[in-house]
Structure 1
Amino acid sequence: MTDPPHSRAWYARLAHELGGYRHPWSRVLDGPDPELTFDALLLEHLHPQTCVLEAGCGHGPDAARFGNECARWVAYDRQPELLELACTNAPEAEFYLWDGKGEVPSALSGPFDLIVSRRGPTSVIHHLNAVAAPNARFLYIGPRLDGPRVPERLAAVGWAMLGEWRVSVRAWIPSWADWQTRCEFMGETASREDWDAQAGARGMPYREQRYIVLAGRD
């Protein structure tokens, strides 16, 4: 990919070439997928009467998978190409184009019982009090063991950290090409020297990590 990683053009290319925001590299995990922790917490908070707002929904995989477990699933993303796919993948959900900046659009004002962000924008934290119902919960997962100032941002809007999980599982990338692709997604530098020194029969060892937060109004 020639576009800068995580630019609008880059996301548009993913939508067209991969059919969504997907990780186009092979990997093998030596333990359970860290994302399962987020899935379990999400399912625990979904009930027939729950109204959900999803920030940064991408091509709609969570709306498609979990939307039938709640009363209403509303989602937004800044990338129109991904939203077009989301509408097809989860036709029962509601999708809106928004970049998370400025005032919250009326269609996203809620109130919502659960606000979720799976590697989506942490900027939604700034809007929690505008969209949340009483006793609402916020559930976030990020791709590294520490989120980008998530606890501080929550404290600034008066929300309390109810739970915090750091999950790390050993994993393997089987080829140099896959390793380059993963590093591009993660904003890291792929060093051929490191690959030659560290990769073995199973490929390059690394840690598949997730940082998960459950929060509520303080």
Structure 2
Amino acid sequence: MAEGRTETAQKRYGRLARELGGYFHPWQRTLSGPDPELTFDLLLADLLTPQTRVLEAGCGHGPDAARFGPLAARWAAYDFAPELLELARHNAPHADFHLWNGKTDIPSDLNGPFDFIVSRRGPTSVILRLPELAAPDAQFLYVGPRLHVPQVPERLQAVGWEVLGEWRASVLAHAPTWADWQTRCEWMAEEARQSDWDAQAGAQGMLYREERYVVLARRLPT
């Protein structure tokens, strides 16, 4: 994965689409407990209704659109990687997908407003666009790859949204091989040292923690 250090994010995710068939973590791992992302899943399923209009930021290859989209009145989603969107349209034909990076002008056919904006390890930039996208009583649900993602509450405060709840989950995990550990560290913007692997890796590989930060917020009345 040395090439990944010089890739743009868009090219990296396009490569994942071609090589792995979607937006998947490109390293093997074994978890010692429940997936810490289950909190996000449970909240999302509980908050959806047949009347909910959903916008998903950073939809990847469309797994959430495929799984949860039928529970909503509408599931719209966007991503900035064309290769992932092609997979998403195949995986969730009932949803509507848009090529967008969340920062430029909102696509004309991505017409809101939306009652529920969700992002699974996707871009936090969508938070700054919530005033343009959200219905008056809308909610926002996010899960990130660390216990602390400080820009999320900071940006919610900047746009005047109220945090209803925060959850932090962590489970032990193993990366079974040195190559998996290198890839995991690169993905998380951490340094992988061969000396650490030689000293600390056991029969199951390198022990680490899979962490998730989940936040639920709502738009305050104006």
TM-score range, shorter chain: over 0.9
CA distance in 2, matches of 1:102, 1:37: 31
The answer as to whether partners of 1:5 and 1:184 remain within 8 angstroms in 2 is no
Match of 2:126 in 1: 124
> Corresponding residue for 1:204?
206
How far, CA to CA, are the matches of 1:209 and 1:180 in structure 2?
A: 18
Counterpart of 1:146 (choices 140, 145, 148) is: 148
Partner of residue 79 from structure 1, selected from 81, 87, 101: 81
Q: Does 1:163 align with 2:148?
A: no
SS at match of 1:196: helix
Q: Which residue of 2 aligns with 1:57?
A: 59
- Which has the larger displacement, 193-202 or 207-216? 193-202
Q: 2:71 aligns with which of 69, 72, 75?
A: 69
Return 5+ residue gaps in structure 2 as ranges: none
Compared with structure 1, are the counterparts of its residues 139 and 131 closer, same or farther at alpha carbon in structure 2 (3 Å cutoff)? same
* Superposition map of 1:4-153 within 5 A: 4=6, 7-153=9-155
CA distance in 2 between counterparts of 1:204 and 1:5 reads 26
| Map of 2:187 onto structure 1 | 185
C-alpha separation between the residues in 2 aligned to 1:80 and 1:135? 32
Q: What letter is aligned with 2:218? A: G
CA contact (8 A) 1:75 1:96 kept: yes
| Whole-angstrom distance in 1 between the partners of 2:72 and 2:81 | 25
Tell me, in whole angstroms, the C-alpha distance in 1 between the residues paired with 2:163 and 2:131.
15
Within 2, Cα distance between the matches of 1:45 and 1:103? 29
User: What TM-score do the two structures reach when normalised by structure 2?
Assistant: 0.94
Q: Which residue of 1 aligns with 2:219?
A: 217
My pick for the range that moved more, 183-192 or 100-109, is: 100-109
- Measured in 2, the distance between the counterparts of 1:214 and 1:8 equals 27
Unaligned runs of 5+ in 1: none
Give 1:7 deviation, angstroms.
2.1
DSSP 3-state at the match of 1:178? helix
Q: How many residues align?
A: 218
Report the alpha carbon displacement of residue 5 of structure 1 after superposing the two structures with TM: 5.3
- 1:108 deviates by 2.4
Over 4 Å off, 4+ runs: none
RMSD: 1.2
For each residue in 1:137-158, what CA deviation from the matched residue of structure 2 results, as whole angstroms up to 9, or x when unmatched? 0000100111141111001101
Corresponding letter in the other structure for 1:76:
Y
